[in-house]
A and B are shown apart, each in its own frame.
Chain A
Amino acid sequence: MTLDIHRIRQDFPILDQKIHGNTLVYLDNAATSQKPNSVIQAITEYYSKYNANIHRGVHKLSEDATLMYEESRQKIQRFIGAKKSQEIVFVRNTTEAINLVAFTWGQQHIKAGDEILLTEMEHHSNMVPWQILAQDKGASLRYLPISPEGELIVDDLDVLLTEKTRLLAITQMSNVLGTINPIKEIVNKAHSIGAKVLVDGAQSVPHMPVDVQELNCDFLAFSGHKMLGPTGIGVLYAKEEILQEMPPYQGGGDMIRDVTWEASTWNDLPWKFEAGTPNIADVIGLGRAVDYLNALGMEQVLAYEHELAKYAINQLEDIEGLTIYGPMDKPRGGLISFTLDGIHPHDIASILDQQGIAIRAGHHCAQPLTEKLGAIATARASFYIYTTKDEINQLCDSILLAKKVFHL
């Protein structure tokens, strides 16, 4: 079964508008995705029909809200193949999920002289928390390098994984290169020397099937807003036995079992990590986003994005002076970073904006990687389930127009 893109587009009200007089072509999905009507309605429904605080109330609205909130957790558990819903912790976004692990598990397990292994294609959100932790503890960071083609040099793990390595933190899909990393193989290698593995799923979970039991990763972090869900809601998955051992992240209401003047004991999983009133509306919205993606099928989503990426590479390759970053002849995520001789990425983005085309320009929160690629910035077009090949054609036409504006 293939995706019916024109049917899908009708579910996204934002797409039906003009920007500077041109129909919106939204190609900034790696930054955030658009939201279908069902997600927008789920949020409106919560606020207009059963807005109440959860877990504590005995009244009808509170019970309804609690039910919907916890049902979302189960939907997400099934979506990523987790063993139990207790392993799903709601946070604000990927960044907060990673910080939670750094400040709890990291504080407990990382000691002076230990090593944390990252890769050269990490987003700042999977670097900076580890830099802070390493500086605090006197631990050191190591980086698994990438090849000129933009792929991890996995063989180097044999050297970089040592008896000092406590954690490997790695992205499943690069937000700059579109590279999809062989996580399962990498997890096996890391586990063989006793290191834990945190997977940054911000770009992968929205775009491909992800099964945490199959990957056997210890932690997985991802954001709702990149997968058709609302902003302000993200997920941390961790294996139950790890979460049990971890100290709480924040103290407050809902995360406690008993409180005395002097001390407290902690609530069961996952609520031990959800202090205070959570983002109820957006958890429910995210659950609806998962329903939407399930109805399409993640295998189909991935296949369509592979197709779009291949099509875009073929079209863009023909433009003189244009350089594409990342793997060229392997299936990759639906995003293309590029530069154009003689025009800065910001200027490309401004000219495209005048044509109604939204792309991103900059270092995409991966400054060291951008520098390694030899660029000061790149332009990035990123696709999703509502992107059409015609929109990619418009992207190429507008890049040619940009060259004309710059007399190139």
Chain B
Amino acid sequence: MSMDLYRELILEHYQYPRNMGDLKDPDIHHHDKNPLCGDQVGIGVKLDENKVVDIKFRGQGCAISQASTSILTEKAKGMTVEQLKALTKDDIQEWLGVPLSPTRLKCALLPLTVLQAGIYKKEEENPS
């Protein structure tokens, strides 16, 4: 039986998500949902000298979208904004380490889309 999609890493992050919660006065904040399935993710980021010093999320949805968010928040700590902007679906797929159908890939990519949209929103508001 192939249940690769639900390998322990994903279930563990889904059932015990890291960095769940809210940040006071985040430097970056964005919330969005996947209109097809209703999965929701909101991510807040605290920066210091353009580096992520804290990151928190709130979300509801499937194991893939929520585990992907939890893993992303772990990886993002210590990254620069430029590094966050350079992340692609390949990074997410590598971190999750499971084969994803096109539909489930959308679930997995929701947090990255939200995080990068938050960065662009901030850059539009405060062009440097």
Contact = CB atoms under 8 A, between A and B. Distances in A.
A362 B34 CA distance: 11
Contacts of A362: 36-38
Given A344-B63, A350-B104, A407-B11, A376 B38 contact: yes
Contacts of A367: 38
Nearest to B100: A350
Contact of A344 (B1, B3, B5, B62): B62
Contacts of A344: 61-63
A351 B2 CA distance: 9
Name the interface size band of chain B: 10 to 19
Contacts of B60: 376
B9 to A, nearest CB: 14
Contact of B6 (A361, A363, A376, A405): A405
A330 interface: no
A405 B64 CA distance: 14
B6 A346 contact: no
Contact of B61 (A20, A376, A405): A376
A351 B6 contact: yes
B112 interface: no
B107 interface: yes
Contacts of A20: 2
Contact of A377 (B1, B38, B63): B38
A347 B38 contact: no
A5 B37 CA distance: 34
Contacts of A345: 62
A351 B38 contact: no
Nearest to B40: A376
Interface in A335-382: 343-347, 350-351, 354, 361-363, 367, 370, 376-377
B61 to A, nearest CB: 6
Interface of A: 20, 343-347, 350-351, 354, 361-363, 367, 370, 376-377, 405-407
30 contacts: A344-B62, A344-B63, A345-B62, A346-B39, A346-B61, A346-B64, A346-B107, A347-B6, A347-B63, A347-B64, A351-B5, A351-B6, A354-B1, A354-B3, A354-B5, A361-B37, A362-B36, A362-B37, A362-B38, A363-B37, A370-B38, A376-B60, A376-B61, A377-B37, A377-B38, A405-B3, A405-B11, A406-B11, A406-B15, A407-B15
